[in-house]
Amino acid sequence: MFAAFVGVGLFAGAMVYVLINCLYLGYLCSIYAARHGRPLGIGATPIRNHFSAATTLAGMLLLWAGLSLLWTPRPAPAAAYYLANLVEVLISYLLCKLYPISDVLLLACKGTAYAAAASIPLSVVLIGFSGGRLGGVLGNSMVGAISGAGILGTVCVAYLVRNNSMSRIVAISFFFIYMSSLFLTFNKTGIIAFVSASMVYVLLAPGNSRQYIARIILMISGIAVALFALSSKISEYTEKTRIGSAETLSGRTILWEKTYKQIIDGPYMRGYGETAFRAIGPNLGSALEHYVHPHNEFLTIWFNYGLVGVVLVYSIYFALAIVSWKAFRRGAGYPAVLVLCTVVFYLVAGIATASFSMCLFPIAWLLIYDCLINTHFREHTCPARIR
């Protein structure tokens, strides 16, 4: 979406993004055709990696979102964003079909970590601090989202390169940089989501009792240091209770109420269509500053895709969590814990934020994590079925 930042506009930026990714998708299709000789039979060919019901449900969500383009209020930009999501998902799917999932995950996580490494310094220079927060009042969510993605990416990299001490040190160094930037934004939703995911990791990650105790001590110490460092910001936020900011979660509850009313008064079963909230959703304050989502994933999905979309999205999360938990119970170890942490992170983050298109957990990443956990699960439980 770099084109949007240099004045081309969001629609044109999305289309440029689609065209560039289409070139890469064509390259992957040519590799697949050369290997299998069946470019149109991608879904039917035997592969080394596996998916679960979560991927099937994700495909159904993509189909439903595509169908909603027929009734969305602004079909042209909605189609651009939908195509951007669709091409990303197809690329992820083909990568999982063509290469070992550990290689795919490592490269994807490295790409995320490097992108965050470039984006965060730029955000400091271009956006800077305002009101004591990195990114200010309007930009802290964006910087926080980048930091959160960087944290998840570096954690996976640290696991995947655990046999390479230098790469592991670099990954852990990036992790602390992204964690610091997340706390500097005072993005409360992102911080709570990160702490929740960390608690899952500390409680479930493999290790002996000594490592378990060390992780608990490290987490408690980290939370204590963070609370001390953010004490002034926390005090400032709680003092806003007098003017109603804290009670309404900085105005979110008012926006949620307006969004719910518009949903109930409209086509609540099918929704208003892809990215519809960005076009016709309710607003707070100045009419010139329109929100792209209602700062709640459940309401965003319900507004855009109706109850059908709500069932599909949360069924995806539930299916991925269930298969990860089953894999964890059967000794899958770190891969299962990493996937569970990611699901928890996005579920908690979705309480007070959202993605204006599709769900907060990017479908392209969801496919990679689903493939990771199912391939690992089958290799350890049904080795005879691996081709």
**The amino acid at 12:** A
Backbone φ and ψ of 246, nearest 5° = -70, -40
Q: Would residue 131 count as lying in a domain?
A: yes
Check whether residue 30 and residue 53 sit in a common domain: no
Q: Which tokens is 281 given?
A: 């959703």
pLDDT string in tens for the chain (387-residue length):
333 333 345 677 777 888 888 888 888 888 877 776 654 444 434 456 788 899 999 999 999 999 999 999 989 889 989 998 999 999 999 888 888 888 888 888 877 777 777 666 666 666 655 555 655 555 566 666 666 766 776 667 666 666 666 677 777 777 777 777 777 776 778 888 888 888 888 888 887 888 778 878 877 877 777 666 666 665 665 555 444 454 456 667 888 999 999 999 999 999 999 999 988 988 776 555 677 888 899 999 999 999 999 999 999 999 999 999 988 888 778 888 888 988 998 999 899 888 888 888 989 989 999 998 888 776 655 544 333
Check whether residue 166 and residue 23 sit in a common domain: no
Read off the pTM.
0.83
Backbone φ and ψ of 134, nearest 5° = -65, 120
Distances, alpha carbon 104 to alpha carbons 35, 55, 91, 108, 130, in Å? 18, 16, 11, 6, 38
Q: Would residue 245 count as lying in a domain?
A: no
Check whether residue 52 and residue 166 sit in a common domain: yes
Q: Would residue 243 count as lying in a domain?
A: no
Check whether residue 87 and residue 20 sit in a common domain: no
Q: Would residue 71 count as lying in a domain?
A: no
Range of the domain at 15: 1-37
Q: Would residue 98 count as lying in a domain?
A: yes
Check whether residue 311 and residue 347 sit in a common domain: yes
Number of domains in the chain: 2
Q: How far from the centroid of its chain's Cα atoms is residue 9's Cα?
A: 23
